Structure 1
C-alpha cells in the first residue's frame, strides 16, 4: 500500500501543479500530508517528518544554495557573465556552440539559470550569423540550453546537482569528480548531434521563428556596470567561481589518493569553499561598484535565495515522509528484482523515475528532488555506488523541458522563437542530453566502486 499511496501523492502534486496551477511548495506539502496520513505515519509523525526532512536537506545544501546565489548576483552586477560570453564569441567563431555549451556547463554551473539565459540569449542572437547564417540561431539555442541545464544537474553549485547529492548522501567533491566530465561530454555530444539534425532540414525559419516576439533584451535585464568593474580583468572577476571549484576538487582528489589533511579538508569543504568565493565576490563588488550597488545586488540574491531554499526544503520533506511510509522496503525489493543485472536496472530505473517526474511537473529541480526523495532512503542498500544513483537521477531530470516550465517561455521570448521553434531547440536538446548522459552514467558505474 505504501507504493500506491506514494503514487497517489505524487500524481496529486503533479495534477495540482499542472492542471490547477498550484504553487509547487503548496502542492508538495499537500502530498506530504496525504502520504503521511494515508500510509500510517500518523498526524504527529507526519508533521515531524515534514519538519525533519526540511531541516535535514537544509543542513546538507542550505548554505551552499545561499552562497551560490549571492555569488551569482554579485558577479552578474559586475557584468562578469556578459563579458565572458562576448569574449568567447569573439575568439571561437564557428566553434562557438561547443564553447558556449562547455562554458555554461563547467565554468558557470548555476543555481541562477534565469540569469544565464538572460545573459546568453542576446549573445546567441548577435553571434548567430557568424556561426551559420542558416542554422546559427537554433544551433546556438540548443547549445545554450544543454549547457545551462547540464551544469545545473551535473556540476556544483548547480541547484539540482547540490540537492540530489545531498538527498542521496553523496559528498559534493565526489559528485564533482564524476559530474564534471559527464556534464561536459553530454553537452558537447548533444551539440554535435543537434547540428546534424539541423543540417538535414529540421529547422524551418518560416514557422520556427516568431517575428512578433518583442526582444526581451531590455535595460532592466542587463547589469549597470561601473567603469572600475568593467576595467577589472575578466579572469579576476571569475575567481569567485573558479577558486571554490578548485578547492572542492583538490580536497576530493586528496581524499581519494590519501594525501588529505585538516587544512585541505577544511578549505575544500563545499560550504567553506563557496563562502571564500562569496567573500571574494563581495570584496570585488565593493571595490569596483561601491556600497550601494553591492547592497542592491545582494538584496536581489537574498530574495532569490528564499524562494529556492523553500522549494528545496519541501522536496526534502517529501523524501522524509516517503522514507517513513515504508516505501523503502517495497522499492528495495523492486530495485533488486533482477539479480542478473542489478546495476543496469537500478541506473535505468532511477533515470526513468526522474525523467517522468520532470516531464510531468515541468521543473528539473523539483523532478530531481522528488526522484531523490523516492530513491534516497534505499540508496545505501543497493549494490551501486550512491554517486551513480545521484548521477542517474540528474541525467533523467534533464529529459524534455517543455511548455509547463516557465524557463521554456523565457527561452522562447528571449531568442525570438515560436513555440514550435522552442520545442525544436530547448525540448529536443534536453531530451537528447538526457539520453546521451545515460550511457555515460552506465560507464561511470564500471569505474566507481560498488557500495
Structure 2
C-alpha cells in the first residue's frame, strides 16, 4: 500500500481504539488486542503471519516490561513496607520544604535518569513519589509528572542511553560533545516541559493518590524503620549497577575497551537492568527484610503482595507494544518517512519530522530515533556540517522521536496505569507533555544549529 491508505488505516485504528475504551468502556487490554488484529488484517499482513506478529510484538514488550515492573515492584514494596519510603520522604520535605518537593523529586529523577532507562527509573522512584504525595496530600500529578518527564528527557536526549548513542554512530557525531550538550540542555527542557507543565496540569486534574502500586502501609505497621542512608543505598544500588553497564557501553562506542574480554561481557551482564534489579531486590530482602526481623512466610507474603497490583499494568503495556508492533510490521512509518524525504526540507527539519512521523506511526521513541537517524544519515554525512551542527541534528532527531506518545506506545500505558489515570486524562497530561518536550528540544537544537 502507498502512504495515503496506510495513514488512513493507522488513524482509523487509533480512533477505534479510543472509541472502544472511552465511549464503550471496553477494557484496554481487550480493545488493544481487537484493534491490533483488525489493523493487521486491514494493512494486508499475510494471514499466516498475523498471529505470529501479534504474539512476537506482545511477547517482546512483555518480556522487558514484566521483568522490570515485577522486580521493581518487589523492590519498591520492600522500601515501602519497611517504612523507608516514608523516612526518605520526610527527610526530603525537611530539606527542601513542602513547596519545593516536586522540584526536588524532578531533580533527583534527572540524576537517576542519567544511566537508568525510563521505565526502570520510574518504577524505582515511585515509592518515594507516592510517599511524598501521601505525606503532603497534594495532587499526584504535581509530584509524579515532573519525575516521569525527567526520566523521559534523560532517556531520549543523553548518552549513554541506546537511542542517542546509536543515532550518534549513524550521523558520525562526536559522542563527548553530544553528552556535554545534552547535559546542558536537559535541565531547561525538563523545567519547561516537565516541571512547569506538571504544576499546571495538577491544578486542572487535582486527583489525589487513592490506591498505589505498592498499596498503603499504615503507620502502626511500621516498626524499626531503616535509616535514610540505608534507603539511599537501596535506591542507588540498581543505579550504580546499571551505570556500570551503560558506562561500559559508552567506552565501547569510543573504542576504549576490548569487547572480546570476558570481564567486559560479565560486567555488562551484571549491569543489565533486569539483573541489576534482581540483585537489588535480593539485597533489599536481606537489608530491609531479614535484618529487621521479617523473614520466612512473612517476607514471602510481602513480596507476593507486590505482584497482584501490577498484573493489569503489565498486560496492558504488553498489548500496547503489540499494537505498535503491528503498525511497524505494516510499513506505515517507512512509507510516510520515505514520502517526506522528497519535500526538500532543511536537513535538521527533515530529521525532526521523519522522527515525529515514525513516533506517531509506531510508538517506540527508541525505534523512531534509530530508524530516522538511519534514513537521514546519508544526507547528514554527505553535507559540510560542523561538529556542533551534527550534534544539533542528532538532538533534533531525538526530539522528534519523543513527540506525543499515545495509545500505540507502551510507555503511555505504563505511565497512565501506574498513576491511576484513564485514557482521556493520560492523553491530556502525558501525551501533551511528550509533545512539549519534543518541541522545546527541537527549538534548542535549531538554536544550536544556527549559532554554531
Q: Cα gap change, 1:165/1:143 in structure 2, threshold over 3 Å: closer, same or farther? A: farther
Flag structure 1 segments of 5+ consecutive residues without an equivalent: 126-136, 358-368, 412-421
The aligned counterpart of 1:418 is none
The aligned counterpart of 1:111 is 123
Flag structure 2 segments of 5+ consecutive residues without an equivalent: 114-120, 169-174, 258-263, 378-392
How far does residue 30 in structure 1 lie from its aligned partner after superposition?
A: 1.0
Q: Cα gap change, 1:323/1:115 in structure 2, threshold over 3 Å: closer, same or farther? A: same
Q: State the secondary structure of the residue aligned to 1:259.
A: coil
- The answer to whether 1:221 aligns with 2:224 is no
Q: Distance in 1 between matches of 2:64 and 2:429?
A: 33
Q: Distance in 2 between matches of 1:26 and 1:378?
A: 30
Q: Distance in 2 between matches of 1:21 and 1:15?
A: 8
1:362-389 alpha-carbon deviations (Å, 9 max, x no partner): xxxxxxx745599589546422699975
Q: Distance in 2 between matches of 1:209 and 1:7?
A: 27
How far does residue 34 in structure 1 lie from its aligned partner after superposition?
A: 0.8
How far does residue 54 in structure 1 lie from its aligned partner after superposition?
A: 1.8
Counterpart mapping for 1:249-288 below 5 A: 249-260=246-257, 261-287=264-290, 288=292
**What is the TM-score when the length of structure 1 is the normalising length?**
0.67
Q: Distance in 1 between matches of 2:416 and 2:337?
A: 32
Q: Distance in 2 between matches of 1:209 and 1:117?
A: 17
1:309-359 alpha-carbon deviations (Å, 9 max, x no partner): 3223222322332233232442232442444334434435655886x89xx
Q: Cα gap change, 1:407/1:92 in structure 2, threshold over 3 Å: closer, same or farther? A: same
Q: Distance in 2 between matches of 1:277 and 1:444?
A: 37
The aligned counterpart of 2:301 is 296
Q: Distance in 1 between matches of 2:81 and 2:306?
A: 11
Q: Distance in 1 between matches of 2:42 and 2:431?
A: 36
1:168-225 alpha-carbon deviations (Å, 9 max, x no partner): 9999xx9xx7998766544434577579x99xxx999xxx898xx9995999623643
Q: Distance in 2 between matches of 1:374 and 1:11?
A: 23
Whether the 8 Å CA contact 1:28–1:318 is kept in 2: the answer is yes
How far does residue 90 in structure 1 lie from its aligned partner after superposition?
A: 0.9
Q: Which moved more, 1:54-63 or 1:179-188?
A: 179-188
Q: Cα gap change, 1:85/1:345 in structure 2, threshold over 3 Å: closer, same or farther? A: farther
Whether the 8 Å CA contact 1:145–1:429 is kept in 2: the answer is no
The aligned counterpart of 1:49 is 53
How far does residue 58 in structure 1 lie from its aligned partner after superposition?
A: 3.8
**RMSD of aligned Cα (Å):** 5.0
Q: State the secondary structure of the residue aligned to 1:54.
A: helix
Whether the 8 Å CA contact 1:3–1:327 is kept in 2: the answer is yes
Whether the 8 Å CA contact 2:141–2:202 is kept in 1: the answer is no
Counterpart mapping for 1:81-100 below 5 A: 81-93=85-97, 95-100=100-105
Q: Distance in 1 between matches of 2:61 and 2:194?
A: 34
The aligned counterpart of 1:123 is 135
The aligned counterpart of 1:415 is none
Q: State the secondary structure of the residue aligned to 2:404.
A: helix
Q: 2:405 aligns with which of 388, 391, 397?
A: 397
The aligned counterpart of 2:439 is 438
Q: Which moved more, 1:375-384 or 1:213-222?
A: 213-222
Q: Distance in 2 between matches of 1:39 and 1:214?
A: 42
Q: Distance in 2 between matches of 1:388 and 1:30?
A: 35
Q: Distance in 2 between matches of 1:106 and 1:395?
A: 23
Q: Cα gap change, 1:304/1:257 in structure 2, threshold over 3 Å: closer, same or farther? A: farther
Whether the 8 Å CA contact 1:350–1:371 is kept in 2: the answer is no
How far does residue 38 in structure 1 lie from its aligned partner after superposition?
A: 1.7
1:39-72 alpha-carbon deviations (Å, 9 max, x no partner): 2213322112101222333455543333333222
Q: Cα gap change, 1:30/1:247 in structure 2, threshold over 3 Å: closer, same or farther? A: same
Q: Distance in 2 between matches of 1:61 and 1:445?
A: 34
Q: State the secondary structure of the residue aligned to 1:148.
A: helix
How far does residue 12 in structure 1 lie from its aligned partner after superposition?
A: 0.9
Q: Distance in 1 between matches of 2:40 and 2:68?
A: 29
The aligned counterpart of 1:64 is 68
The aligned counterpart of 1:324 is 329
Whether the 8 Å CA contact 1:71–1:240 is kept in 2: the answer is no
- The answer to whether 1:146 aligns with 2:145 is yes
Tell me how many residue pairs correspond in the alignment: 390
How far does residue 99 in structure 1 lie from its aligned partner after superposition?
A: 1.5
Whether the 8 Å CA contact 1:328–1:378 is kept in 2: the answer is no
Q: Distance in 2 between matches of 1:432 and 1:370?
A: 15
Q: Cα gap change, 1:376/1:88 in structure 2, threshold over 3 Å: closer, same or farther? A: closer
Q: Distance in 2 between matches of 1:5 and 1:248?
A: 40
- The answer to whether 1:382 aligns with 2:375 is yes
